[in-house]
Structure 1
Amino acid sequence: MVLKKTVFLFFGLFLFLFTDLQGQYVDRKAHSYPKKFALDSNLMQEPWKHTTFKKKDSVYQTIIFNSVVHDALIKKQTPLYAIELNPELLLAAAAENQTSKNYFVSGGGGRLNYQHTQNFVFNASFVAFRQSGIITDSIRTSNNLLEDVFYSESTQDGYKALDLRVNALYKLSKFFKVGFGIDNHFTGDGYHSVIQGNNVPPYPYAKLSTSFWKIDYTVGYHFLKDVAWPDLSDTYRKYMTTHQLNIKLHPRFHVYAWEAIVWKQEDTITQRNYDMSYLNPVIFFRPVEFQLGSPSPDNVLLGIGFRWQPFNWMRVYGQAMVDEFYLKEITARNGWWANKYAFQLGVNSTFSRGNHCFQMRGEFNMARPFTYSYIGSMQNYGTRYTPLAHPLGANFGEVLSTVRWQWKGLGAFARVSYAQVGQNGEVNYGQHIYRSYTDREAEYGHNWLQGNLKSGVAADFRLMYTINPEMNLKLSLGVRKMPAFYANQNDLEEIYLRLSTFLSPQMKQLYQTK
């Protein structure tokens, strides 16, 4: 165990130093950073800051060549509003090793961005695609449990899926904004998040936020569904309320505190639905939870994080999630099962040399056994059989590095990660967050990465050419390895060719987890 921790620490330190040294060669003139690569300075980016439009005449841009190569399909801007409509496209072919066959993915859809003055923003996308030539996990696809899509269904030789994302935001006043839609959410600055990740299926939500002085505060209401594990045949409603408080201590140093509470729609006494106790935007969840009795039927989680930007071209970030916290048990160092926490530390560097743009990232993530799990799966920190935080669940360690280069339309991307997971067997070692934490063998003696330890390297190397930056239409050629952390599956190795504006869930995954 000591050797494993030393390897992780050494590798993480190496990535940090490498990224830091690379950043020394940056051109520090502010205008040398292309806007799409610049590190933003705000902890909370309002959607309209991502939907700015170049100044053009108020006419529709419908010339075929410009629409395909340079511009949006339809774009119009007036002093009152701006609208942009683009198609979505996915054509991909790959040869992989698990079945020694080729597989194909094809799909399409549309994306709409609308902005009315500075008070209302509406973004929506709809895509449908089909994958054939490789049989996927039939449980996930047939029971609509496929991650990162709205709906999925098995076919004879693969699966088909559709994805819907809708986000609306209205500025009520100078200090208040209200939003709603169907989407997943991400908290933090990392490639992954140990607080709230975006690898889950989209779900309905509403949020209310306020900004004043150096403070941003957001309350979110999330409408989830999940399985009553181990039964995966049906899903049931569960709910989550989140609070996030961001404080800008310095223009280059921000901190945030986060809390969430998860509960199921009905318990043994009543049909709770969305509990009115958790609608209050300015309460602490723990006192309300205590009023429900012991053990509480609801699951409270707490998180903290920071962002430090010492230079314009570099950002250091980190976060921690605490599922249970008893200082006495932590300092005793006796492996109490409920010492449940997760941790992230990373650095991101973006700089340019002439027309060459570079982005480098080094990141470390870990979670102790039983983190995110609860008495039952309907109160755990997940939705539709997918962890709401890191895709590896709990009882894992991960070191990840990415490098991106772009010169005009040409680009290259490399991503390598090394992960260790203490997997469950007949004994519950705390890795599977859908397995009840009451199904454990002992109260003490639980160590990080305990259980059936499996290691794996995930890698993705690709060359890209951006055909249309407005549509994000890219032609990519690459090779990929995706390790499997379940059911004695073999690692996936493939070579692929894509023409796409979006990716299917399998193309975005680093690991096979279920």
Structure 2
Amino acid sequence: MKQFILLATGFLFTVNAFAQEKLPVIVPYNVYNYRDLYLDSVNRHTALKPILHEDTSALYQTDTTKRSWFHRKLFKEHLFEFRQPDYNVFIDFLPDLQLGKSNQNKTLWLNTRGARVQANIGKKFYFESSFFENQGMFPVYLDSFVARKRVIPGQGEVKFDPGEVPGESYDYNYVTAFLSYTPNHYLNFTLGYGTNSYGDGYRSLILSDVAFSYPYLKITANLGQFQYTSMWSQFMDLATKSFGQAYEGIGYDKKWGVFHFLDWNATKKLTIGLFDAVIWPDADTSGRKRGFDWSYMNPVIFLRPAEYSTGSSDNALLGMNIKYKIFSKTTVYGQIVFDELKIKELLSSDGWWGNKWSAQFGFRSFDLFKIPKLDLQGEFNAVRPYTYSYSNTRTNYAHYNQSLAHPMGANFKEILAIASYTYKRWYIRAQLNYANYGLDDPATDISYGQDIFKNYIKRPGDYDIRFGQGVKTDFLYGQGSIAFILNPKYNLRLEASAAARREKNSLETNQEFIFSLGLRSTFRQFYYDF
């Protein structure tokens, strides 16, 4: 990794040495300034993330206050900045140091040391790479998740033996990187190792950034009011092998995915997006190698006919994303995804098990009560039982033992609200989630459709399949945080946070209250609200 960063940085210093034009910095939007896109008077394409943009705000600025190097680096600048007329390079050290306590009589802590390199050559090339080395001790409910899944949510695998007692500290790494090439106003090519997200909500039922990083190639075309994206990805199936088996020289089973997304700004207020995807295994259940299926390489294609023409039973999904600005500072949005559907069965209202779909509706409001940067988001999500699952995990809609869509899997309804307020360098955020879902009964081997890593063969029946079937469970999660932003360049902040979680059903009640303090940085977003 070090050699790769040094080579990339050296390359940036040697190209385009004679260019004279002062070019802007090319950087990605982060989760905090996506609000600017929704407040723009022009209808922007906001569904596909991450989004790159030009930043001229800090180009060649001179610090007239004559502050010390330490003050500038702590409060205003990147740790290392190399700004030239034809390229820009930024290097940051990214700590995430937290100390906390759980009411389960457990001390919590996180020790993350990270580094990030960002660079652009002119307006056409942008490069970013980050690496994080982590050790931590987590709340009890996350211990339970790690014991089952062997991964830290969104951050990859831990070396955890099944016989080991949950609750010990974990050691894990997290890496992202991508190279973006924009030859002209109409095209962008991105080769990356990270995550992508489709949608305007906090959750995405189409493709979310919940799971761990994966390699991908993405081509995006912008033609007037249309934005069209094709993406090819490789995913990992951890469910079929143990940690030891995977490292006997054969690795984990792989699967492939192809995604198309057409986003149309139909009017100044309305945007409609159409989505399709296919997931297929690298090898079948007998071990016969299939590899990358070149029939899915055509970037302009309807995937369902292609999937049917291969003679295979790959996992195909269709979806739609809608956004409408009802007021200048309020936008409503929604999604619907069809994993499998028969119109006749849907209209019969008999609850046929194969009607697998998910739906979302939400809103974003900015500057509430005319208070600048007081924002509110509300969202409802519903996912039918067995949606995103398959007859085997090699083809389900998942990666690294986590869903590629919603972290709760399927067979649930959820409502959530997020309020945030920014004042100068102060940032306050509050979140509340309520969900109702049906879990599998541990006394039986029947799958009620919430766990997408279980096949749907052993289901309770073909009809009368309803939301929340199984062990009916109520879930409540609340989280609040207050932070003082030391350096907005890499979101270095002092943060205090409190969270409460309760999961209750007829079998047990799990409650946990967590409080933490920390020095944190980066714009990464991990989802622990499940």
Report percent identity of matched pairs.
Answer: 25
Provide the residue aligned with 1:38 in structure 2: 36
> Counterpart of 1:248?
265
Q: Which residue of 2 aligns with 1:202?
A: 213
Residue number in structure 2 paired with 1:89: 95
Equivalent residue, structure 1, for 2:134 = 129
**330-339 or 43-52: bigger deviation:** 43-52
Q: Secondary structure of 1:66's partner?
A: helix
Q: Do the aligned residues in 2 keep the contact of 1:51 with 1:113 (CA within 8 Å)?
A: no
C-alpha offsets along residues 449-494 of structure 1, whole Å, 9 cap, x if unaligned? 1111100110001221111111201111121013458995723211
**Paired residue for 1:218?**
229
Give the match for residue 28 of structure 1: none
* Match in the other structure for 1:67: 73
Counterpart-to-counterpart distance in 2, 1:52 and 1:502: 21
Task: State how far apart, in whole Å, the 2-side matches of 1:78 and 1:348 are.
Answer: 38
Deviation (angstroms), 1:180: 0.7
Q: Distance in 2 between matches of 1:35 and 1:297?
A: 41
User: Structure 2 CA distance, aligned partners of 1:343 and 1:46?
Assistant: 23
Counterparts of 1:288 and 1:107, CA distance in 2: 44
CA distance in 2, matches of 1:343, 1:467: 39
Q: Distance in 1 between matches of 2:33 and 2:491?
A: 15
Q: Structure 1, residues 99-135: CA drift from partner, whole Å, max 9, x if none?
A: x121211111111221222111112211111113767
| Amino acid paired to 2:384 | R
Structure 2 residue 59 is matched with structure 1 residue 55? yes
The alignment partner of 1:289 has SS state of helix
SS of the equivalent of 1:429 reads coil
Structure 2 residue runs without a partner (length 5+): 1-31, 247-251
Match of 1:283 among 294, 298, 301: 301
1:445 aligned counterpart, secondary structure: coil
**2:485 alignment partner in structure 1:** 466
Tell me which residue corresponds to 1:490: 510
Query: Paired residue for 1:446, among 445, 456, 465?
Result: 465
Q: What secondary structure sits across from 2:118 in the alignment?
A: strand
Distance 1:120 1:446 in 2: 50
From 373, 376, 395, the equivalent of 1:360 is 376
* Partner residue, 1:377: 393
Aligned mates of 2:224, 2:492 — CA distance in 1: 40
SS of the equivalent of 1:490 reads: strand
Shift of residue 55 of structure 1? 2.3
Q: C-alpha distance in 2, partners of 1:92/1:197?
A: 26
Q: Deviations over 1:335-359 (max 9, x none)?
A: 1000100000000011278884211
TM-score by length of 1: 0.85
- 1:330 is paired with a residue whose SS is helix
Q: Which amino acid aligns with 1:56?
A: Y
Q: Which moved more, 1:258-267 or 1:490-499?
A: 490-499
In the alignment, which residue of structure 1 is the partner of 2:13? none
Q: Which amino acid aligns with 2:291?
A: N
Displacement after TM superposition at 1:229 (Å): 5.1
Residue of structure 1 aligned with 2:359, choices 336, 343, 346 = 343
Q: Map Cα deviations across residues 414-466 of structure 1 (whole Å, 9 max, x no partner).
A: 10010111111222111111111122131111111111110011000122111
CA drift of 1:195 comes to 0.8
User: Residue type of the partner of 1:245?
Assistant: L
Q: Does 1:109 align with 2:145?
A: no
Q: Equivalent residues in 2 for 1:492-511 (5 A)? A: 492-502=512-522, 508-511=527-530
Amino acid corresponding to residue 223 of structure 2 in structure 1 = F
Match 2:456 to one of 414, 437, 443: 437
Q: Give the structure 1 partner of residue 7 of structure 2.
A: none
TM-score normalised by the chain length of structure 2? 0.83
CA distance, structure 2, for counterparts of residue 36 and residue 85 of structure 1: 23
In 2 relative to 1, CA 212–280 (structure 1 residues): closer, same or farther, beyond 3 Å?
same
Classify 1:390/1:139 alpha carbon distance in 2 versus 1 (closer, same or farther; 3 Å): closer
1:238 aligns with 2:252: no
Task: Name whichever of 274-283 and 40-49 sits farther off.
Answer: 40-49
Of the two structures, which has the highest relative contact order with CA contacts closer than 8 Å and spacing of 6 or more? 1
Question: Among residues 478, 481, 492, which one is paired with 2:500 in the alignment?
Answer: 481
After superposition, the Cα gap between the structure-2 partners of 1:412 and 1:195, relative to the gap in structure 1 and judged at 3 Å, is same
Amino acid at match of 1:76: F
Any idea what the Cα deviations from partners look like across 1:282-331, whole Å, max 9, x if unmatched?
A: 222212222344xx431001110111113331111100110012110000
1:58 is displaced (CA, Å) by 8.4
Deviation by residue 1:206-231 (Cα, 9 ceiling, x = unmatched): 11121112111111011100134597
Compared CA separation, residues 352 and 68, structure 1 to 2 (3 A): farther
Give the C-alpha shift of residue 75 in structure 1: 2.2
Shift in CA distance, 90/228, structure 1 to aligned 2, threshold 3 Å: closer
The alignment status of 1:330 with 2:334, answered yes or no, reads: no
Sort the Cα spacing of 1:373 and 1:167 in 2 relative to 1 into closer, same or farther, 3 A.
same
CA contact (8 A) 2:139 2:514 kept: no
Residue aligned with 1:272, SS: coil
**Helix, strand or coil at the partner of 1:172:** strand
Is contact 1:53-1:82 (8 Å) kept?
no
Whether contact under 8 Å (2:377, 2:418) holds in the other structure is yes
Q: Is the 8 A contact 2:198 2:204 kept in 1?
A: yes
Aligned equivalent of 1:27:
none
State the alpha-carbon separation in 2 of the partners of residues 35 and 388 from structure 1: 24
Q: Of 266, 272, 275, which residue of structure 2 is paired with 1:258?
A: 275
Deviates more, 1:155-164 or 1:258-267: 155-164
